[in-house]
Amino acid sequence: TRIGVVAETAPGERRVALVPTHVQQLVDRGLRVVCEPGAGAGAWYEDEEYERAGAELGDPWGADIVLTVSPPSPAEVDRLASGAVLVGFLAPATNTEGIAALRKAGVRAFAVEAVPRVSRAQSMDALSSQATVTGYRAALLAAERLPRFFPMLTTAAGTVPPASVLVLGAGVAGLQALATAKRLGARTTGYDVRPEVSDQVRSVGARWLDLEISAVGSGGYARELTPKERARQQERLAEAVADFDAVITTASVPGGRAPTLITAESVRAMRPGSVIVDLAGETGGNCELSVPGEEVVVHDVTICSPLNLPSECAVHASELYSRNLVELLGLMLDDEGRLLPTTSDEILASTCVTATDEEVD
């Protein structure tokens, strides 16, 4: 079985789907790995490292299993062989046309977004591994943009109080942002509509902000708020955010538009020089004034809405993602390295986004 590692072409994408250490592990198991020249360059892995690990340099798109980070372009889909397997972030909730094109091309496509959030699949959970990177970088970005110190400092020239940081949405990214801001010395507070995460927020040294709105959905995710709950949340958050130097937002609901947590009015109420880092830019943003992909200053508040923070930490983001894919490949291949059917494991069955109903049943 041949595994292809592509050079990503999406704008700003610096990650690579498989790092040299993991190439070596696959080659040791008798698999062949074909790496597109320059595939690892954005993440500082050189072609020679891939070759030393046992990969061949060449065209990865004709391989039996093609590994990517971003969804393939239509031209790239054309290069996939019928019957090939594709694994990557494929945005199944929004990229309906792309998934239809893959199905039409006869490709067995596995979207890492669809890996179930269950204990057995934890090591394959790319949403979590990349959200960890995003949360970490978001805290650093907030610290860098804030015209104040994060830690408390006692100096000969006076004492500086610690910055106060609020994180809205305490999922994987939010908890990592809280933990990182805390390590930098800030006073941290976390908020979510899933009350069960309050203990996790406290476990990373943050206070829990209770707005008395609970919206637990299915599969451990939040559900969308009703218009009435939303209005109440926005009103209570407007009061709360004015007390913080930096607010990091991460709220999202599966498949839907990101909820608006910070209205334009709330931004106006914040102190001049405050910072908002909005991580929900890809699905429209949590702040009414965010411009996805940009950094703007409105009402004297700096609002950053970065779109691909993992690419700014491409070495470790790639390494973690690559580990997720190796674990997923472990389910796909038998001991001789032959591809197993999608139905052989329920994690595979739920991750496959091009299977027909008969194939899954």
Query: 34: which strand partners?
Result: 4, 56
Check residue 170 for interaction with ligand NAD (CB under 6 A): yes
Check residue 129 for interaction with ligand NAD (CB under 6 A): no
Residue type at position 259 = P
Check residue 352 for interaction with ligand NAD (CB under 6 A): no
Check residue 172 for interaction with ligand NAD (CB under 6 A): yes
CB of 281 to ligand NAD, least distance (A): 13
Check residue 145 for interaction with ligand NAD (CB under 6 A): no
Residue at shortest CB range from ligand NAD: 171
Q: What is the dihedral of CA 328, 346, 220, 322, to 10 degrees?
A: 0
Cα gap 130→141, rounded to integer Å: 16
117 catalytic residue (yes or no): yes
Catalytic-role residue among 14, 15, 64, 128: 128
CB of 79 to ligand NAD, least distance (A): 32
Pick from 24, 79, 86: nearest CA to 329: 86
Check residue 256 for interaction with ligand NAD (CB under 6 A): no
CB of 107 to ligand NAD, least distance (A): 26
Looking at the Cβ atoms of 50 and 110, the one nearer to ligand NAD is: 110
CB of 39 to ligand NAD, least distance (A): 27
| β-pairing verdict for 246-249 and 164-168 | parallel
Check residue 325 for interaction with ligand NAD (CB under 6 A): no
Check residue 252 for interaction with ligand NAD (CB under 6 A): yes
Site string for ligand NAD, 189-218 (x = CB under 6 A): ---xxx------------------------
Check residue 234 for interaction with ligand NAD (CB under 6 A): no
- Candidates 30, 220, 255, 341: give the one binding ligand NAD (CB under 6 A): 220
Check residue 309 for interaction with ligand NAD (CB under 6 A): no
- Candidates 222, 276, 317, 326: give the one binding ligand NAD (CB under 6 A): 222
Check residue 122 for interaction with ligand NAD (CB under 6 A): yes
Check residue 221 for interaction with ligand NAD (CB under 6 A): yes
Query: 159: which strand partners?
Result: 154
Q: Are 276 and 287 in contact (CB under 8 A)?
A: yes
Cα gap 70→325, rounded to integer Å: 14
221 catalytic residue (yes or no): yes
- Candidates 23, 63, 109, 168: give the one binding ligand NAD (CB under 6 A): 168
Check residue 143 for interaction with ligand NAD (CB under 6 A): no
DSSP letter string, 165-222? EEEE--SHHHHHHHHHHHHTT-EEEEE-S-GGGHHHHHHTT-EE---S---B-STTPB
Check residue 117 for interaction with ligand NAD (CB under 6 A): yes
**358 burial level (CB within 10 Å; 0-12, 13-18, 19+):** exposed
- Number of residues interacting with ligand NAD: please give it, by CB under 6 A: 28
Catalytic-role residue among 52, 117, 202, 271: 117
Looking at the Cβ atoms of 250 and 322, the one nearer to ligand NAD is: 250
Rounded alpha-carbon distances, angstroms, from residue 132 to 74, 78, 176, 246, 309: 30, 33, 6, 19, 10
Cα gap 95→171, rounded to integer Å: 24
Looking at the Cβ atoms of 76 and 229, the one nearer to ligand NAD is: 229
CB of 224 to ligand NAD, least distance (A): 8
Q: Are 172 and 128 in contact (CB under 8 A)?
A: yes
- Give the list of residues 6+ apart from residue 47 with CB closer than 8 angstroms, or none: 35, 37, 38, 39, 40, 57
Neighbour count for residue 199 (Cβ, 10 Å) = 9
Q: Exposure pattern of 53-91 as b/e (b: 16+ CB <10 Å)?
A: bbbeeeebbebbbbbbbbbbeeebbebbeeebbbbbbbb
Cα gap 52→19, rounded to integer Å: 12
Residues classed as catalytic: 117, 122, 125, 128, 221
Give contact residues for ligand NAD (rule: CB under 6 A).
Answer: 117-119, 122, 125, 127-128, 131, 168-174, 192-194, 220-222, 225, 250-253, 259, 261
